[in-house]
A and B are shown apart, each in its own frame.
Chain A
């Protein structure tokens, strides 16, 4: 099972964190600090797996972002690499050629997408199309709700004028 997902920039700034195991706030910040130190200092030619505190951390670097996932000892590291790539491809499709800025300004959308791919630390959906479809449907729900709200308040505003 995946214990947590971490996205950090080259400078060590946290872009996204998702925890599937119980960690207190203090533990979380400690973990983030430690892992940032370990992963950011690794050279480019080294392998993508790090042994850390009895777990394995699989990380992959995409442009200026490091995508890290912490898994149990018995999990298949190569598969986790695939899952990371799966996520990145879906993000790419959704945002259209995604870059770090997209993830910064639309972090909530990044989370929604992650929630469609992983629950409780396990893979949920292996088809990119399905995930994209679901996210699109949910987005349209949001849109319609907003439109309704704005139209009603318009009406009320007009009425009370």
Chain B
């Protein structure tokens, strides 16, 4: 039959033949044909292997097993193991006199038994562990392994028989016995203790020594080593026994050293033993000399020509780093070579290992090497490589200029593989390094000339040119390492124009380019006309975003010349700490500073990222209706009038607030902006959100309410508004936190989206007495599992009889969110008729799930 199936030329023919055969077999089964049963079963199995369904044969299998003849039983068990899986219950004859049959049964049981079967038949198997025939003993041992894996509770029963097996002479039984002991020890700690006793351990060590020193035995010899399998099993068992136990480890030191030094490593068998030996050494209790030996062996492996060996060595070195980083550093050069290997899996491993090895001292040469390799590496690898280089550079860069340099190189080489957050971070860094602005923009200008197809590079470049175009043209802040370069205004505009028109620029780039053009039109008045022309070209663009921008910018350039320059003033410095804090959740490698500590920035001022530039042109967007106040505020802002801080109340309408506040910010009047209402989302996701290049920094913004308002805006001295909370999460009922005869304190809660542990509390103080309170100060204390941040209050005079109130925002982070509710102790101090008054209280009635 096999021949006929193989002779089929097409799949259809084969199906026909198989169908005929199946029919014949089914007929034979129905007739209960004894003679050919085993042949039919064999045919069935072949057909099954080809992939056809053969369920009708399963009963045949069972009948075959139950029959008396050996051939039938043999085929029946084979069919059983092949056609059925674990979930079938089967009658097993473990008590048969014929040892081969017992062997068959044990084999089947070992391969497919289920938990119930295991429980029923465990005593039988135990008995067989002491059978006279070694063949049966070894099968019983492996069967016991299966039983123990299925039913770990039975492990204790097998401890004693297993211990007996360890003293065997027959290699087969010894191997299986050792395996059984290893598995028992993994499952039961009691067994582990038992086998760690010196008597057992010494026996094992002695066995290993005998095997290592044994003379040539032709039966077990592989590549000149006697029974490498036994070596490896014994080493594995020693690994399990020695891990975590100093005494046991001591016993093994000698034999491990002997194996490590004496084993020949020119054949795979020898290397396998050495590998196992190194694994064992690395996991048992510390012994300096042995560890050094092990790492040297690994070093030797690394320079082996065989790919497998190098792969295995890299794997082990990754584990070894946690144990002894110094030693691994010595092999850094070889590992670096492996990054350039032909084999993809070796490259991957080596790259990961290099990444783990990076520290402050070697980051510069390593990065240089990796970037050089980036140029010649192939596409699939570039993604990984760029990601690793970027995170390395970020973590360990010694100074900003080096960071910018490396990132520019990476972007020029493989910009398309760089993730968005990476170049966002780059922009944040650039904006923070104010002395390097000129240098950066010039370097970017040069880079873009050569690598126009790298999207991310183009984006960063046009952002910088837009922002710092005047520095580029006027050669501001030239560092001595730079070559002189003259760029005219129209050159700069050229670059942006090319970016817009380039066929591979996507919508983000084009949108960013538009904003850059707007900025340039203000900075380079001479090119204004030309810029306007370019912008106007996109008026009819099919992409709504571009069309909108084009029309709006066009109208700014044409009609609103007076506000244009203020609109596109230099952006305030972006808040690095906030950005890292936000990224910390997504990128484990980045430095994470909690947003609460933005107070300690080296720049001194934690400024929120500027909210979208274009939001103020809310003219055409359909955001929530503008509250009536914003119209007046707009005018007032433009005219430079101070905006009353108390007018900002946390409310539900947020979009329009963002608009006016952005304006406030950009015009540097009044307070820094209130939260940018839009949560960080894709640039293109909402067509109504006129986001600009600044909007990409939505990922960075907004500064936490704590950071923003607690800092006095650098450019003016007004008391900042109490910032309104971000989008409300689930609504929490407000509580009256404190009430006395003269003072009421209410808390309103909201949660910033995406962070269930943090709560923003808007505290409102109302004065019930007929007297005015002055010098009003609110203080609060919280238990250790909470973090509290208080923003400055909206004022410190509380008018009488509820004619006004003071508001203050608190930000609480609950590290035991869900387990413990918030509690707070308060202390309120004020002056009443020039008399100091102090009121203290404890607030316990916070909603439970804050």
Q: What residues of chain A lie closer than 8 Å to B51, measured between beta carbons?
A: 14, 29
Known pairs A82-B229, A126-B172; A47 contacts B346 (CB<8 A): yes
* 8 Å CB contact of B344 from A22, A46, A130: A46
Are A82's CB and B228's CB within 8 A? yes
B232 near A76: Cβ-Cβ < 8 Å:
yes
Give Cα A14 to B171, complex, Å.
Answer: 33
Among A79, A123, A142: residue with most chain B CB under 10 A: A79
> A115 an interface residue at 8 Å Cβ cutoff?
yes
The reply to whether the CB of B146 lies closer than 8 angstroms to some CB of chain A is yes
**B41-49, B324-332, B560-568, B769-777: which lies at the interface:** B41-49
Stretch in B70-78, B531-539, B543-551 touching the partner:
B70-78
Q: Is the CB of A126 within 8 A of B220?
A: yes
Chain B residue contacts of A149, Cβ below 8 A? 35, 69
CB proximity of B418 to chain A, nearest CB, Å: 26
Least CB distance from A80 to B in Å reads 9
**Is there contact, CB below 8 Å, between B71 and A125?**
no
Give complex CA distance A146, B230 in Å.
Answer: 38
Known: A119-B110, A120-B143, A122-B142. A46 touches B343 (CB 8 A): yes
B82 beta carbon closer than 8 Å to chain A: yes
* Contact across chains for B70 and A19 when beta carbons are under 8 A apart: no
Query: How many Å lie between the Cα of A122 and that of B342 in the bound state?
Result: 33
Which of B269, B312, B343 is A82 in contact with, Cβ under 8 Å?
B269
- Whether B111 pairs with A120 at a CB distance below 8 angstroms is yes
A154 at the interface (CB under 8 A from B): no
CA A45 to CA B355, docked complex, whole Å: 26
Say which residue of B69, B70, B78, B111 sits within 8 Å of A20 (CB atoms). B111
Measured in the bound complex, the distance between the Cα atoms of B106 and A15 in whole Å is 25
Q: Does B583 belong to the interface (CB within 8 Å)?
A: no
Give the number of residues in B that approach A within 8 Å (Cβ atoms).
65
13 sampled A-B residue pairs with Cβ under 8 A: A19-B85, A24-B85, A45-B343, A47-B310, A47-B345, A76-B275, A81-B308, A111-B81, A112-B78, A119-B139, A120-B111, A122-B179, A145-B69
* Chain B, Cβ-Cβ closest to A49: B311
At the interface, yes or no: B307 with Cβ under 8 Å from chain A? yes
Compute how far the CA of A18 lies from the CA of B111 in the bound complex, rounded to whole angstroms: 9
Do residues A145 and B70 form an inter-chain contact, with CB atoms below 8 A? yes
Bits for A17-45, please: 1 = Cβ < 8 Å to B, else 0. Answer: 11110111100010000000000000001
- Please measure, in the bound complex, the distance between the C-alpha atom of A63 and the C-alpha atom of B85, giving whole angstroms: 31
CB distance from B307 to the nearest CB of A (A): 4
B506 to chain A, nearest CB (A): 32
Chain A, 134-160, contact with B by CB distance < 8 Å: what is the 0/1 string? 100110011001100100010000000
Q: Is the CB of A127 within 8 A of B172?
A: yes
Chain A 79-122 interface mask (CB, 8 Å, partner B; 1/0): 10111011000000000000000001101100110010001101
With CB as the reference atom, state the residue of chain A lying closest to B279: A76
Q: Which of B6, B110, B275 contacts A120 (CB 8 A)?
A: B110
CA gap between A23 and B87 in the complex, in Å: 10
* B175 in the interface (beta carbon within 8 A): yes
Residues of A within 8 A of B82 (CB): 111
**Interchain nearest-CB distance for B245 vs A (Å):** 19
Q: How far is the CA of A46 from the CA of B86 in the complex (A)?
A: 36
| Closest B residue by C-beta to A148 | B69
CB of B70 within 8 A of CB of A124, answer: no
B712 close to chain A: CB less than 8 A: no
Q: Does B661 contact A (CB under 8 A)?
A: no
**Which residue, of A15, A107, A115, A149, has the highest number of chain B Cβ atoms within 10 A?**
A115
Give Cα A49 to B307, complex, Å: 10
Interchain nearest-CB distance for A140 vs B (Å): 10
Q: Mark B274-300, 1 if CB is under 8 A from A, else 0.
A: 011001000000000000000000000
Q: Is the CB of A146 within 8 A of B312?
A: no
Known: A46-B344, A78-B312. 5 other contacts (CB 8 A): A82-B222, A120-B143, A123-B176, A124-B139, A126-B172
Which residues of A are found within 8 Å of B271, using beta-carbon distances?
Answer: 78
Nearest CB of A to B607, in Å: 46
Among A14, A23, A24, A119, contact of B142 (Cβ-Cβ < 8 Å)? A119
Distance, CA A24 to CA B142, complexed state (A): 23
CA distance A46 to B276 in the complex (A): 22
In the assembled complex, the Cα of A76 lies from the Cα of B86 at a distance in Å of: 27
Give the complex CA separation of A124 and B174 in angstroms. 9
Cβ-defined contact, B86 with A22, below 8 A = yes
Decide: A108 and B42 in contact? CB cutoff 8 A: yes
B557 beta carbon closer than 8 Å to chain A: no
B268 at the interface (CB under 8 A from A): yes
Which residues of B are found within 8 Å of A78, using beta-carbon distances? 268, 271-272, 275, 308-309, 312
B74 cross-chain contacts in A, Cβ below 8 A:
112, 138, 142
The reply to whether B268 and A81 contact each other, CB–CB distance below 8 Å, is yes
B719 interface residue, CB < 8 Å from A?
Answer: no
Query: With a CB–CB cut-off of 8 A, which chain A residues contact B138?
Result: 124-125
Nearest chain A residue, comparing its CB with the CB of B275: A78
Let me know if A124 and B175 touch, CB within 8 A.
Answer: yes
Q: Name the B residues within 8 Å of A125 (CB-CB).
A: 138, 171-172, 175
| Interchain residue pairs A-B with the least CB separation, the first 6 | A78-B272, A47-B307, A119-B142, A126-B229, A119-B110, A125-B172
| Chain A residues near B230 (CB-CB < 8 A) | 126
Q: Which residues of chain A have C-beta atoms less than 8 A from B2's C-beta?
A: 104-105
A85 to B312, CA, bound (A): 18
The CA of A119 and the CA of B227, in the complex, are separated in Å by 19
Residue pair A47, B308 in contact (C-beta under 8 Å) = yes
Q: Which residue of B lies closest to A58 (CB)?
A: B308
Using an 8 Å CB-CB cutoff, how does the interface string of B118-146 with A read, 1 for contact, 0 for none?
00000000000000000100110011011
CB of B360 within 8 Å of the partner chain: no
B191-225 interface bits toward A, Cβ cutoff 8 Å, 1 = contact, 0 = none: 00000000000000000000000000001101000
Contacts of B69 in A (CB 8 A): 145, 149
| CB contact under 8 A between A23 and B175, given known A46-B344, A47-B345, A47-B346 | no
**B373 on the interface (CB 8 Å rule)?**
no
CA distance A108 to B81 in the complex (A): 12
Q: Output the least CB separation between A25 and chain B (Å).
A: 8
CA distance A16 to B342 in the complex (A): 32
Q: Which residue of B81, B219, B312 is within 8 Å of A77 (Cβ)?
A: B312
Q: A104-B6, A134-B135 are in contact. Are A48 and B111 (CB under 8 A)?
A: no
Determine whether the beta carbon of B107 is less than 8 Å from that of A22.
no
A residues in contact with B172, CB < 8 Å: 124-127, 130
Which residue of chain B lies nearest to A56 when distances are taken between CB atoms in the complex? B315
CB-CB nearest in chain B for A144: B70
* Whole-angstrom distance between the Cβ of A76 and the nearest chain B Cβ: 5
CB distance from A8 to the nearest CB of B (A): 11
A-facing residues in B652-701 (Cβ within 8 Å):
none
- Give a binary string over B223-260; 1 marks a CB under 8 Å from any A CB, 0 the rest: 00001111011001000000000000000000000000
B85 touches A23 (CB 8 A): yes
Shortest B224–chain A CB gap in Å is 13
CA A127 to CA B229, docked complex, whole Å: 10
Whole-angstrom CA separation of A133 from B220 in the bound complex: 14
Asked whether, in the complex, the Cβ of A108 is within 8 Å of the Cβ of B344, the reply is no
> Is B100 interfacial (CB-CB < 8 Å)?
yes
B residues 1-42 touching A (CB-CB < 8 Å) = 2, 6, 35, 42
Measured between alpha carbons, how far is A23 from B82 in the docked complex, in Å?
A: 12
> Assuming A48-B308, A107-B46, is B175 touching A123 (CB within 8 A)?
yes
Interface string of B165-177 (1 = CB under 8 A from A): 0000001100110
Expressed in whole angstroms, the Cα–Cα distance for A48 and B309 within the complex equals: 10
Q: Contact between B308 and A79 (Cβ–Cβ < 8 Å)?
A: no
Q: Contacts A46-B307, A79-B272 hold; do A123 and B71 have CB atoms under 8 A apart?
A: no
The smallest C-beta distance from A123 to any residue of chain B, in angstroms, reads 6
Q: Which residue of B lies closest to A77 (CB)?
A: B312
B710: shortest Cβ distance to chain A, in Å? 47
With A77-B312, A111-B78 known as contacts, the answer to whether A127 contacts B171 (CB < 8 A) is yes
Question: A66: shortest Cβ distance to chain B, in Å?
Answer: 15
Known A46-B307, A149-B69; judge A123-B179 contact (CB<8 A): yes
In whole angstroms, what is the CA distance A11 to B2 when docked?
A: 18
Is the Cβ of A137 less than 8 Å from the Cβ of B49? no
Cα distance A16–B46 when bound, in Å? 10
